[in-house]
Amino acid sequence: MTDAAHLPPAPARGCRDVPVLKERGQREVFCGLTGIIWLHRKMQDAFFLVVGSRTCAHLLQSAAGVMIFAEPRFGTAILEEKDLAGLACANEELDREVDRLLSRRPDIRQLFLVGSCPSEVIKLDLHRAAERLTQKHAPHVRVLNYSGSGIETTFTEGEDACLAAMVPTLPDTDERQLLMVGALPDVVEDQALGLLRDMGVSPVRCLPAHRAAEAPGVGAGTVVALTQPFLNETAAHLERRGARTLPAPFPFGEGGTTAWLWAVAQEFGVDADTFAKVTEAPRARARKAIAGAAETLKDKSIFFFPDSQLEIPLARFLTRECGMKAVEVGAPFINKQIVGPDLDLLAEGPTIAEGQDVDLQLERCRAARPDLTVCGLGLANPLEADGLATKWAIELVFTPVHFYEQAGDLAGLFARPLRRRALLSGLEGAA
């Protein structure tokens, strides 16, 4: 069902069992605090209060860009010299800042105390602080905590830590339901819900929900469909509450989306005819949209630096549906339980790397001279200056890229730097 005629059959040997190159050294990655930038857009009545240093505030400001001026629902309680002197004092200070914040923002229903490297190192107990503050501000506001520190989390793992912290607070339910997990842009979430509704899958709930009051229940009847590959802790927490996680490739591209939906369809007893009827038209649209970008991408080589854990599913999409050749697929963390189905579909060949020693990886990248390199903003311009085309990775987390209607846009994100390079070739040597 999932192997349409136009897509290559699943490779005889995928990458699930190839040895993973595990590296340790300097890592050029964001910390989990960055997740706040997109999470706060999704959860409309939540405020994210980082307890950290000026560095944390500076990071959020650098990552949030201009968004910082639109009265964002996040901020940093900056630790000062006096907070480091005695811990009792730090708790009082935190309570005072939270009181002030909540009195200024009465619309807030969920407050996340987000741990940082400094707060973790001084062992400021934010978990107890969250419990204390929940009691104080109940029932109006629920205060939760998670860590987005760099010492514990890498980039998208911040979302994982946040959602995992919410799981214990979800109500119990025995209802048989599909729980779609991962913060998707609203437009994408609506499309996914529409497809599932048309197939007759019901009820479907989302984590995170837009508002605290819409939080889903969880229990033995819950089937979890992850929409993002980085939700390892969240999946584990949901399983602890009795839920079961569906193994499936992630819904990138036509093939990925179809396989994802098919996994759900099988679980909920959707017949093949209904499935075909619902997916036929959007599949055709997705194929057509991808074809445009695939002309540029065909036979081009691609190198992924670790960033978001989206690398393996994206490499699967680009190799199978756009005809690219993967050289190295680096990910900050690889959980084979979760990205296994994508690894199965990624033909053997590329180096699969977990972790990073950035200088060594740069050496490999420069030696391979890939046609396109996916990397962070700290590396992108330096690599471009070396003559390598790059696609900066953070955009893949902010831009709607999942499911059928975005499949063409997703391929377009990778084709654009190559098209631009070709267009500007007359500038060579001018700089």
Binding site residues, another protein, CB under 8 A:
25-34, 49, 51, 53-55, 57-59, 61-63, 66, 68-69, 72, 74-81, 83-84, 90, 93-94, 96-97, 100-101, 117-118, 120-122, 149-152, 154, 359, 376-382, 384-385
Q: DSSP characters for 284-341? A: HHHHHHHHHHHHHHTT-EEEE-SSSS-HHHHHHHHHHHS--EEEEEEES---HHHHHH
Question: Under the phi-then-psi rule, with left for phi > 0, alpha for psi from -120 to 50, and beta for the rest, what region is 323?
Answer: left
Q: Which is nearer to another protein, 73 or 300 (CB)?
A: 73
Query: Two tokens at 118?
Result: 């400094």
Question: Rounded distance, CA 180 to CA 177, Å?
Answer: 10
Pick the closer one to another protein by CB: 97 or 405: 97
Asked if residue 117 belongs to a known ligand binding site, the reply is: yes
* Separation between Cα atoms, residue 290 and residue 112, nearest integer Å: 39
Q: Which is nearer to another protein, 119 or 279 (CB)?
A: 119
Cα(189)–Cα(105) distance, integer angstroms: 28
31 assigned binding-site residue:
yes
Residue 402 buriedness (CB in 10 A; 0-12 / 13-18 / 19+): buried
Closer of 113 and 192 to another protein (Cβ): 113
* CB of residue 335 to another protein, shortest distance in Å: 17
Cα–Cα distance measured from residue 22 to residue 16, given in angstroms and rounded to the nearest whole number: 15
Q: Nearest-CA neighbor of 144 among 198, 194, 108, 184?
A: 108
- Least separation in angstroms between residue 80's CB and another protein is 6
Give the nearest distance from C-beta 96 to another protein in angstroms: 8
Both structure tokens of 128: 């107890």
Q: Is the CB of 194 or the CB of 382 nearer to another protein?
A: 382
Hey, what amino acid is at 150? G
Do the beta carbons of residue 248 and residue 370 sit within 8 Å? no
CB nearer to another protein: pick between 71 and 299? 71
* DSSP designation for 102: H
Residue 196 to residue 71: CA distance in whole angstroms = 35
Backbone angles phi, psi at 74, to 5 degrees: -150, 160
Could you tell me the smallest distance in angstroms from the CB atom of residue 238 to another protein?
24
If you count them, how many residues does the chain have? 431
Q: Which is nearer to another protein, 4 or 122 (CB)?
A: 122
Q: Could you give the CA distance from residue 186 to residue 336 in angstroms, rounded to a whole number?
A: 28
Q: How far apart are the C-alpha atoms of 229 and 309, rounded to whole Å? A: 6
Closest CA to 148 of 186, 119, 179: 119
Annotated binding-site members = 31, 56, 117
Annotated binding-site members for [4Fe-4S] cluster = 31, 56, 117
